[in-house]
Structure 1
Amino acid sequence: MKMAVTTTNICEDYENAKILEAACVAMETGSMTPIIKQELRFIIQSRRLAEGKSELSELDVKFVPPVTTELTPEEHIKKENRREQNRIAARKFRKKQTASLHKFKKRIQNLESENTRLSSELTTLAREKRSLQGKLQSHLDMCGCVISTELLV
C-alpha cells in the first residue's frame, strides 16, 4: 500500500513538473499551445490507464513545421503551364456557357412567338365557330329543320 502511494506521488510530481515546464514555455512564447499539448498528453495517458492499457513511458508529440522549399525551374514552368491550361479551360467553359445561354434565350423567344401565334389562331377559330353557330341557328330558325343539339355545342 505504501508503495502505491509513493508511485502516485512520483507521478503527480512528474505531471506537476511537466505542467510547470509547459507554463514557462507558454510564458516565454506567448502561446497557450504547450499547456494545451501537455493537458492532452495527460488526458490520453489517463484514458489509456482507465482502459487497462500500458502506460507509455513518454508520450511526446513534437510539431515540426513543414519545410518550404523553392521551386525548381522545371517545377515553376510546370506550375505556370498548369495555370495557363486552367485559364484556357475557364475561358472555354465561360464561352460555352454564354453560347448555351444564347441558345436557350433564342429557344424561349421562338416558343413565346409560337405561343402568341397559337393563341391568336385559337381566338380566330373561336370567333369563326361562334359565327358558324350563329348562321346555323338562323338557318334552323328559318327552315324548321331538326338537328341534334350536340352539334351546336
Structure 2
Amino acid sequence: MKFFFKFDSGFYKPFFTILLMVVGLNFLLSDFKFLSGSNTEINTVFVKPGTLVVKDSDAEYNVMFTRGETDFTNFPVGGGNALIDSNTVFGKNRIIIRGDLPVRILIYPTLGLVQLPNGLKIIPFFKNVYTTKPFKPDSRAITIKINLVFGVVDVVER
C-alpha cells in the first residue's frame, strides 16, 4: 500500500484493513436473503439465533456465527428427488427431519462435530452418509447436503 497509495504513515493501515474486511463481508453476504419484509422468507441465520423452515428445494439454508435450527418436517417428498444445502459456519445447527420420510443426509465436514439420530457422535474428516429407515436408493427422497466448517450439527428425527 505504501507504494501504490504513497502513504508513509502507519495510521492508514488499520483503516484500509477494516475497510477491506467490510467490503469482503458485504460481497460474501450479498447473495443471502435476509428478512426484509413480511412476505420474504429467511434462509440465513447470521449472528442472532433463529429458526429456518425449509420450503424451497432450490435455496441454501445457512447458519453462521450463531445457534440455529433448520426444520425439514414440513418439506414434502414431492414428485422427485430434492437436494437441499444446509451450511453451518462457526455455529451450532440443529437439523430436524421426519423419521417416517425417506431422507438421505450427505455430510461434508471441515473440523466439525456431527451427532446423528442413532446417537452416534462423529468428528468426520471425509464425506459420510446417513439415511432414515424408509429410504431406498431407487425411490424418491429428500437429500440434505450438510456443509460444516468449524461447527456442530445435531440431526434429530421426529
Indicate the TM-score class for this superposition, using the shorter chain for normalisation.
Answer: under 0.3
User: If you compute each CA radius of gyration, which structure gives the higher value, 1 or 2?
Assistant: 1
The TM-score, its normalising length taken from structure 1, stands at 0.24
Larger RCO of the pair (alpha carbons < 8 Å, separation 6+): 2
Name the TM-score, length of structure 2 as normaliser.
Answer: 0.23
